[in-house]
Amino acid sequence: MARIAYVNGRYAPINDPAIGIEDRGFQFADGVYEVWLVKGGVFQDHAGHMARLKRSLTELRIPMPMSEASLDIALAETLRRNRLNNALVYLQVTRGVAKRDHAFPASPVRPTIVITARPLSMAASEKRAETGIDVITRPDERWKRCDIKSVSLLPNVLAKQAARESGAYEAWLIDADGFITEGSSSNAWIVTPEGVLVTRKADHGILNGVTRLRIMRIAKSLGLSFEERAFSLEEALSAREAFISSASSLVMPVVRVDGRPIANGAPGSLASALREAYLAGAEA
């Protein structure tokens, strides 16, 4: 079955040429995006993703392209037309099409909206979670507004490619002070030897993951001790557990960093418990 994309009010086969050459998303990466996990036909953490979309757009002074209700319909309809139950739904909004000039268009243009959906195998994700993943580390070479979910992802792309080439699943990015900021497309977590759950504070240095916020709510409901603070590579290497979080990987245990095992090199019990709680719909 041909995959169907929503493009500016139309549903079209994904390979149809549909975006203007002078779209500012293409020319300048002048746009934002969101990715929803859809499980059993239900958009996970929908309100959190919508709130972050609005925030990203506001920070870049791109108008919300349509009402939230209309956007909800387009998201659901894209999922339906692709006949998917477990999926990743991708939404991109760019500033629109205008004669190429770095500054914003002098007169307002209509933002471009694209929605796509692709299948996500929960079985493959579960299998990966059973063994855990390897991460490598890379210097964080991104800009200073990583809190905006911008489509300008080149440093993330290069870090992820480096991970692939070394047989790892993710790259953790390290800031100038030696602290881990986050993964190339996920948030980073550790559990200290004392059992404290730690993830970096959501400042301009990281994307405030919707899954990260969900895990924080779950941790609170389970009465886990939790700290929002930076942690170094050294601290991660001596941690009891490590894991990443994102809409696409949920909670995914990290068992090696730069080839060095975390604890005994097996997925940790807290990471597995948080993953289970997430899958069971806790604090949704």
Question: What are residue 217's phi and psi, to 5 degrees?
Answer: -65, -40
Interface residue with ligand PMP, options 78, 92, 137, 211 (CB under 6 A): 211
Looking only at residues 16 through 45 of this chain, which bind ligand PMP when binding is defined by CB under 6 A? 35
Site string for ligand PMP, 239-258 (x = CB under 6 A): ------xxx-----------
Interface residue with ligand PMP, options 98, 210, 216, 274 (CB under 6 A): 210
275 binds ligand PMP (CB under 6 A): no
The CA distances from residue 93 to 54, 101, 167, in Å, are 11, 19, 33
In angstroms, the CA 231 to CA 177 distance is 10
209 binds ligand PMP (CB under 6 A): yes
Q: Which of 146, 189, 140 is nearest to 162 (CA)?
A: 140
82/186 with CB nearer ligand PMP: 186
Q: Is 220 a catalytic residue?
A: no
Give me the long-range contacts of 61-66 (CB less than 8 A, separation at least 24).
61/104, 62/31, 62/32, 62/93, 62/94, 62/95, 62/111, 63/108, 63/111, 65/93, 65/110, 65/111, 65/112, 65/113, 66/113
| Contact range with ligand PMP by CB under 6 A, out of 105-113, 161-169, 184-192, 276-284 | 184-192
277 binds ligand PMP (CB under 6 A): no
CB of 139 to ligand PMP, least distance (A): 15
Rg value, the chain, Cα? 19
190 binds ligand PMP (CB under 6 A): no
Interface residue with ligand PMP, options 78, 112, 150, 186 (CB under 6 A): 186
Q: Which helix (H) or strand (E) holds 277?
A: helix 269-279
**Which is the catalytic residue, given 149, 160, 201, 220?**
149
In angstroms, the CA 210 to CA 127 distance is 23
89 binds ligand PMP (CB under 6 A): no
> Could you list the active site residues?
149
| Interface ranges with ligand PMP (CB under 6 A) | 35, 156, 182, 185-187, 207, 209-212, 245-247
